[in-house]
Amino acid sequence: MRALVAMSGGVDSSVAAALMKTAGHDVIGVTLKLWSGPNGEAPTAGCCTVSDAEDARRVAAQLDIPYYVLDYTDEFRDGVVDRFVRDYTSGRTPNPCIECNRTVKFDRLLSGLDDFGSDVLVTGHHARNRFEDGMWSLRRGEDRDKDQSYVLSMLTQAELSRTVFPVGEMTKAGVRSIAAEMRLRTASKPESMDICFVGQRDYRSFVRDAAPGAFEPGPVVDSDGTEMGRHEGIIGFTVGQRRGLGVAVGEPRFVVRIDSATSTVVLGRRDDLEVAGVSLRQLTWTDGVPASGQVIAQYRAHGEPVAATLHEDRLLFAEPQQAVAPGQTVALYDDDRVLGGALIADTFR
Amino acid sequence: MIYLDHAATTPMRPGVWDAMAPYSDDVFGNSSGVHGVSRRAKNALEEARERIAVAIGAGPREIVLTSGGTESDNLALKGSALSSNPRRGVVTVATEHEAVLETTDFLRRLGVPTAVVAVDDNGAVDLDDLVDAVDANTAVLSVMYLNNETGVIQDLLRIVSAVREREPDVLIHSDAVQAFSSEEIDVDALGVDLVTVTGHKFGGPKGAGILYVREGTALEPVLHGGGQELGRRSGTHDVAGAVGLATAMEAAVADRARFKSQVGEVRDDFEKRIVAGAPDSVVNTPESMRSSHHLNVRFPGIRNETLLMRLDRTGVAASAGSACQSGASEVSHVLEGMGLTPDQARESVRFSFGWNSTSEEAMDAAEILLGLVEELR
């Protein structure tokens, strides 16, 4: 098999490349150059840094596979960063890693697979992709703590049929021990946690800089509409936030809703955070068939899966959920198998 | 492997490595030392300097040994703009190498007046625009002899005489890094004050180059220190590098006529085959005022990074002309300067030929290339 391995410079994709090479496949490694700052400076943290690309290059050299850097900075800016900024200015809570998977990594690499002279795309995601009952099924990774099926929940048969996740069948400890055994330089490299284009900055200052003038001062109101204070812009708030609200009341208050049209931040009590369900948009199904009825839903990358009932684009949680915000991705499961994914359009009580 | 990226670097010519070897071995002395082994090194260094000077029609005192093209360009521009001469300005051209453009931008940030003159669709700088950009405060004008990405040759003689007529005291620098293999470089005939040449573009070692500095030119060093190179470039000499550079220069000068005709023919044959086999391809290298050994060509609808990857996997080495430190292809400022859109620049590939290029390998590469273009279209 001719395999194109997306190498981020981390241990998982290093081992994915190593496993494909060891299995005798014709392997090439690529790193995507996704971002340079407004002045062309290289980012300093996260998955798209120069030093990460260097690690990928060195691992590829050690594995003796051809290695290339592909420039997708235009696609990344348009599809991920601009959208990230737009979502926050509209009061939504985006997940840029999922957008990157959707609009850059899987989209561009898979559509270019033939041109690159490869049969399959290989990544270092912790998820399992198996051919079962005449169908590709996406399941949670072997290592539940590291499972990344959530960020892959928008993949469909078209993508899954040409994608391999070699480390999804392993634990993270197992991945690291293979890397150590093969003396890969990334064996004990820490995981990147930051949003790669934001780095160690505060994402709020990033969005403010990227969208100057997008945020206007507005009222902070209680659930009954009483104005309790003023704020400098909705970017300072996320649903569920308790600290830094700039208001003093006896009982703890939380952000329960953000109205971007009127720049209004709505506060409430802990109970007011609870939502009964969400409406969904951009629904996709791994097997192309819409599911309905009892499902397991996960609405944060490392959130607990919860029971829910799906009826068309409305998802009703079995128990009320807190801090659910429009813009977040929901992955839908049957046990450990991904049924599909969607974005939260709105929440309802 | 068929190597068609000689403009990036080219293999050493026969005999160069052997000539260098003693100075990284037995004759290891520091050429500034006071003992026998250092005197022998110093002697080899000065002999190399004389040979280098002869190769460009200069005097040995006019040769500043540097680490290569980037350093020489930096020294030419910074050294002129920051020298004891009261003139401060820098004028250059939009399609220059980054070593010139980034240095110009650095000087701009220091408060030096700078001007970057545009080129036309054929990559030629407009003589009137260039002359108009030069004024009584201009310290140095920098114009590349032969463009590294496209092979465009600037009409240096006309430029020099027109600029001199307007401002006789402006220093004129030319980056001749890509030109040395095929064009005669005689500093007096060209009438320039500063010339950049680097060894690894014509069969010498990497890390060894020169800046020609006309006698009497005031120049502030970029590297301050022990005062080597008559105070113009401090640092312990790379004696082996200088000997390798001199040896390769002599070989290149002796081979120049053959290079220009024979390598030029290899390039022309390659070009004809590509244009015939891929009729929608667009040659970015202009038809006249072009080098013998560069070919920049655009394949509409095919991203250059994909084509270069496939060529590499098939054993053909070429490039997009300009690559950043990460290795990603960047949109070429040279092609953009010639009026191509960013997308068109991303469809352009540079093939460059060298002293050991053969017709056979070029024809083999052309067939491979045409096959890939057909497949990727």
Q: Tell me the per-residue pLDDT of B28-71, one tens digit each, with 9 for 90 and over.
A: 999 988 999 999 999 999 999 999 999 999 999 999 999 999 99
Bridging pattern class, strands A293-298 and A306-311: antiparallel
- Is A131 within the bounds of a domain? no
Same domain flag for A8 and A114:
yes
- Is A160 within the bounds of a domain? no
Q: Which two tokens stand for residue B98?
A: 């980054």
- Is A206 within the bounds of a domain? no
Domain end marker among B221, B251, B281: B251
Same domain flag for A27 and A66:
yes
Q: Among partner residues A28, A33, A115, which is closest to B326 by beta-carbon distance?
A: A33
Q: What is the per-residue pLDDT for A197?
A: 81
Same domain flag for B289 and B235:
no
Cβ distance B309 to A68 less than 8 Å, yes or no, reads yes
Q: Which residue has the tokens 């006698």?
A: B215
One-letter amino acid at B210 equals: I
Q: CB of B312 within 8 Å of any CB in chain A?
A: yes
Q: What residue in B sits closest to A65 (Cα-Cα)? A: B313
Instruction: Tell me the nearest-neighbour CA distance from A69 into chain B, angstroms.
Output: 5
Same domain flag for B123 and B225:
yes
Cβ distance A69 to B326 less than 8 Å, yes or no, reads yes
Interatomic CA distance for residues B192 and B18, integer angstroms = 33
Contact list, A31 vs chain B (CB under 8 Å)? 326
Task: Output DSSP code: residue A144.
Answer: G
* Catalytic residue list contains B239: no
The residue-averaged pLDDT of B360-366 equals 98
Q: CB of B301 within 8 Å of any CB in chain A?
A: no
Select from A15, A6, A44, A3 the least CA-distant residue to A189: A15
Beta-carbon contacts of residue B71 (< 8 Å; ≥ 6 apart): B209, B211, B222
Same domain flag for B136 and B219:
yes
Cβ distance B306 to A116 less than 8 Å, yes or no, reads yes
Q: What are phi and psi of A41, to 5 degrees?
A: -75, 150
Instruction: Tell me the nearest-neighbour CA distance from B377 into chain A, angstroms.
Output: 9
Same domain flag for B306 and B364:
yes
Interatomic CA distance for residues A166 and A13, integer angstroms = 9
Counted domains in chain A: 3
Q: Domain residues for A263? A: 215-271
Interatomic CA distance for residues B98 and B322, integer angstroms = 9
- Is A29 within the bounds of a domain? yes
Cβ distance A50 to B329 less than 8 Å, yes or no, reads no
Give alpha helix (H) positions in chain B.
16-20, 36-55, 69-81, 98-109, 127-133, 156-166, 187-190, 239-258, 264-277, 304-313, 333-337, 342-345, 359-376
Q: What residue in A sits closest to B310 (Cα-Cα)? A: A116
Please give the angle made by the CA atoms of B184, B187 and B189, to the nearest 5 degrees. 75
Cβ distance B309 to A116 less than 8 Å, yes or no, reads yes
Contact list, B305 vs chain A (CB under 8 Å)? 68, 70-71
Contact list, A33 vs chain B (CB under 8 Å)? 326, 328
- Is A54 within the bounds of a domain? yes
Asked if A277 and A308 count as a contact pair (C-beta separation under 8 A), the reply is: yes
Contact list, B306 vs chain A (CB under 8 Å)? 112, 115-116
Q: What residue in A sits closest to B315 (Cα-Cα)? A: A66
Asked if B281 and B304 count as a contact pair (C-beta separation under 8 A), the reply is: no
Same domain flag for A229 and A323:
no
Counted domains in chain B: 2
One-letter amino acid at B81 equals: A
Q: What is the per-residue pLDDT for A53?
A: 80
- Is A158 within the bounds of a domain? no
Same domain flag for B173 and B267:
no
Same domain flag for A119 and A30:
yes
The backbone region for A17, taken as left when phi is positive above 0, alpha when psi lies in -120 to 50, beta otherwise, is alpha
Q: Which of B101, B326, B346, B376 to probe by mutation at the A interface, max A CB count within 10 Å?
A: B326
Q: What is the per-residue pLDDT for B326?
A: 60
The residue-averaged pLDDT of B328-348 equals 92
Task: Output DSSP code: residue B10.
Answer: -
Contact list, B376 vs chain A (CB under 8 Å)? 115
* CATH code (residue A254): 2.30.30.280
Q: Which two tokens stand for residue A343?
A: 């974005």
Contact list, B309 vs chain A (CB under 8 Å)? 28, 66, 68, 116-117
Q: Which of B305, B325, B330 to probe by mutation at the A interface, max A CB count within 10 Å?
A: B305
At A70 the three-state DSSP class reads strand
Q: What is the per-residue pLDDT for A49?
A: 52
The residue-averaged pLDDT of B318-347 equals 85
Asked if A179 and A11 count as a contact pair (C-beta separation under 8 A), the reply is: yes
Cβ distance B305 to A33 less than 8 Å, yes or no, reads no
Cβ distance B330 to A116 less than 8 Å, yes or no, reads no
Same domain flag for A109 and A231:
no
Q: Given B324, B326, B328, B375, which residue is catalytic?
A: B324
Same domain flag for B107 and B130:
yes
The beta-strand segments (E) located in chain A are: 2-6, 26-33, 67-71, 120-122, 127-132, 135-140, 163-164, 218-221, 227-231, 254-259, 264-268, 275-285, 293-298, 306-311, 314-321, 329-334, 337-348
Give alpha helix (H) positions in chain A.
11-22, 50-63, 73-76, 82-89, 96-100, 106-111, 113-116, 157-160, 172-181, 203-210
Q: Which residue has the tokens 């391809």?
A: B281
B146-191: per-residue pLDDT in tens?
Answer: 999 999 999 999 999 999 999 999 999 999 999 999 999 999 999 9
Cβ distance A71 to B328 less than 8 Å, yes or no, reads yes
Beta-carbon contacts of residue A60 (< 8 Å; ≥ 6 apart): A7, A17, A29, A66, A67
Statement: the pTM of the whole predicted model exceeds 0.95 = no
Contact list, B330 vs chain A (CB under 8 Å)? 71
Interatomic CA distance for residues A77 and A79, integer angstroms = 6
Active-site positions of A read 100, 196
Half-sphere exposure of A31 (CA within 13 A, CB side): 29
Q: What is the per-residue pLDDT for A51?
A: 65
Q: What residue in B sits closest to A50 (Cα-Cα)? A: B326
Q: In what side-by-side order are the strands of the sheet with B294-298?
A: B282-283, B294-298, B348-352
Interatomic CA distance for residues B219 and B345, integer angstroms = 37
Q: What are phi and psi of A249, to 5 degrees?
A: -135, 160
- Is A82 within the bounds of a domain? yes
Band of residue B127 on the pLDDT scale cut at 50, 70, 90 = very high
Neighbour tally for A126: CB within 10 Å: 26
Cβ distance A53 to B326 less than 8 Å, yes or no, reads yes
Q: What is the per-residue pLDDT for B324?
A: 61
* CATH code (residue B194): 3.40.640.10
Q: Which residue has the tokens 């991705």?
A: A329
Band of residue B242 on the pLDDT scale cut at 50, 70, 90 = very high
| B residues 328-347 lying closer than 8 A (beta carbon) to A | 328-330
Q: What are phi and psi of B363, to 5 degrees?
A: -70, -40
Instruction: Tell me the nearest-neighbour CA distance from A7 into chain B, angstroms.
Output: 14
Same domain flag for A118 and A59:
yes
Cβ distance A71 to B305 less than 8 Å, yes or no, reads yes
Q: Which of A35, A69, A119 to probe by mutation at the B interface, max B CB count within 10 Å?
A: A69
Interatomic CA distance for residues B40 and A143, integer angstroms = 67
Contact list, A42 vs chain B (CB under 8 Å)? 326
Domain end marker among B201, B225, B251: B251
* CATH code (residue A324): 2.40.30.10
Q: Give me the tens of pLDDT residue by residue for chain A, a chain 349 residues long.
A: 999 999 989 999 999 999 999 999 999 999 998 877 554 455 444 444 556 788 999 999 999 999 999 989 889 989 899 999 999 888 888 888 888 988 899 999 999 999 999 999 999 999 999 999 999 999 999 999 999 999 999 999 999 999 999 999 999 999 999 999 999 999 988 887 667 788 777 888 888 888 888 888 999 998 888 898 899 889 888 888 888 887 777 788 899 889 988 999 999 988 888 999 999 999 999 999 999 999 999 999 888 999 999 999 999 999 999 878 899 999 999 999 999 999 999 999 8
Same domain flag for A68 and A11:
yes
Domain end marker among B199, B227, B251: B251
Q: Domain residues for B293? A: 2-8+256-376
